[in-house]
Amino acid sequence: MKKLISLVLAAVMALSLVACGSGNKDKDTDTGDKTYKVGVVQLVQHEALDAATKGFTDALKEALGDKVEVVEKNASGDSNNCVTIVNGFISDKVDLIMANATPALQAAASATSTIPILGTSVTDYATALEIADWTGTVGGNISGTSDLAPLDKQAAMLQELFPNAKKVGMLFCSSEPNSKYQVDEVTKLLSAAGITCTEYTFTDSNDVSSVTQKACDDSDVLYIPTDNTAASNTEAIANVVLAAGTPVIAGEAGICKGCGAATLSIDYYELGKITGQMAAKILTGEADISTMPVEFAPTATKQANMANCEKLGITVPADYTALATE
């Protein structure tokens, strides 16, 4: 009998040791051994979005090092490709999706309500996600950063540089809701100053040149918001506007470098870094995405494309920074 009791006690002790060992292993995994996989879906390749993706990846790697794998996919300007890429990320069971540009965010938001989603290079989340009662926080599994530079200051810039302008052409892609949002807001501001604003919309790269020509024919100045199609076709736009002698106020530096005269622009690399820092906090459990407000770039800078301004005979005020063009 004593021998039987001894055997039972020995078995119990052995099981206890195994359980303790298992518990320690789980604890180690929770604190130090966990790895993460993050999927990046970028709408199209152009300077602003490329910089945001790089900033995001750099910040995430800086925070988590080898514990995070970042998979970058580019949709080549096709919203349907965004959907395909996002579905692939879901199948791969990524821990977080970074959606770079509005159509990428919309695709991710429609595809999953459980995987955390961070947007970047998205101007207005209320417009992008059709949120009627906007409070600054999306809620659920979505947050991110906005590339919105103050629209009132953009309107003021146009009036400062072109005080005699009476007609402004608003040039943008008809399928980009955040471009329409910016155009509507700037139109209100300029209209209040007695300036006539007319919309000129292209559908894709095929009609950019013809629409731009029409806008130049009827306008003193053009305004182009942070529009992805425009950003991907700056050379085509430049060929028209410079020949016509029509200056462009651009919503971001990349467009201004290609075809603009001046811009009030944010730093997209820094915006990406802010997004990456948010991602690190979400992945490690330091922050709850459902309560994270959308964040903005800390500063916007007056910049001028000096070469284009010289071609167009524009005198640039002293408080503008020369935009680096290559």
How does pLDDT run across 170-190, given as a tens digit for each residue? 999 999 999 999 999 999 999
Here the CATH number for the domain that contains residue 75 is: 3.40.50.2300
314 and 213 inside one domain = yes
Helix (H) or strand (E) holding 224: strand 221-224
Instruction: In whole angstroms, give the CA distance from residue 162 to residue 169.
Output: 13
Percent of the chain, pLDDT > 70?
90
199 and 65, same domain (yes or no): no
Same domain (yes/no): 251, 115 = no
Phi, psi of 223 (to 5 degrees): -120, 125
Average pLDDT over residues 135-139: 97
- Residues 123, 52, single domain; the answer is yes
| Residues near 142 by beta carbon (within 8 Å), at least 6 away in sequence | 105, 109, 116, 117, 118, 119, 125, 129, 289
pLDDT for the residue 141? 98
Any domain includes 237: yes
Is the same domain home to 63 and 207? no
Question: Domain for residue 17, yes or no?
Answer: no
- Please report whether residue 48 resides in a domain: yes
Q: How many domains does the chain have?
A: 2
Same domain, 311 and 185: yes
Note the pLDDT of residue 4: 42
Give backbone dihedrals phi and psi of 220, rounded to 5 degrees, phi first.
-85, -35
Task: Place 27 in a pLDDT band, splitting at 50, 70 and 90.
Answer: very low
pLDDT beyond 80 at 229: yes
In this prediction, residues 188-207 reach a mean pLDDT of 97
Report yes or no on 273 lying in a domain. Answer: yes
318 and 194 within one domain: yes
Q: Please give the pLDDT value at position 40.
A: 98
**If pLDDT is split at 50, 70 and 90, which confidence band does 24 have?**
very low
- Which one, of 149, 319, 160, 167, lies nearest residue 246 by Cα? 167
Find the mean pLDDT for residues 263-291. Answer: 97
Give the residue, 266 or 28, on which the prediction is more confident.
266
Q: Tokens 């690190």 appear where?
A: 280
Q: What is the pLDDT of residue 283?
A: 98
Contacts of 85 (CB under 8 A, 6+ apart): 39, 41, 73, 75, 107
Same domain, 43 and 185: no
Tokens 């603009």 — which residue? Answer: 260
Q: Flag whether 173 is in a domain.
A: yes
The pLDDT value recorded for residue 326 is 64
Amino acid, single-letter form, for residue 72 = E
161 in the same domain as 246: yes
Contacts of 318 (CB under 8 A, 6+ apart): none
**Angle, helix 79-91 to helix 102-111, in steps of 10 degrees:** 40
Instruction: Work out the pLDDT band at 324, boundaries 50, 70, 90.
Output: confident
Residues 6+ away with beta carbon under 8 Å from 12: none
Per-residue pLDDT at 32: 64
Does any domain span residue 26?
Answer: no
Whole-number mean pLDDT of the chain?
Answer: 91
The predicted pLDDT at position 325 comes to 74
* Domain assignment of residue 67, given as a range: 36-147+267-293
Which of 41, 53, 174, 156 shows the shortest CA–CA distance to 110? 41
Q: Are residues 308 and 287 in the same domain?
A: no
Nearest CA-CA partner of 165 in 238, 210, 223, 214? 223
pLDDT tens digit string along 79-121? 999 999 999 999 999 999 999 999 999 999 999 999 999 999 9
Confidence tier at 9 by pLDDT (50, 70, 90): very low
- Closest by alpha carbon to 38, among 320, 271, 275, 252? 275
Same domain? For 79 and 186 the reply is: no
Q: Cα torsion for 234, 99, 293, 284, to the nearest 10°?
A: -140
Sheet holding 262-265, edge to edge: 196-202, 167-173, 221-224, 248-250, 262-265, 301-304, 321-322
200 and 316 part of one domain: yes
28 in a domain, yes or no? no
Of 262, 191, 193, whose CA–CA distance to 224 is shortest?
262
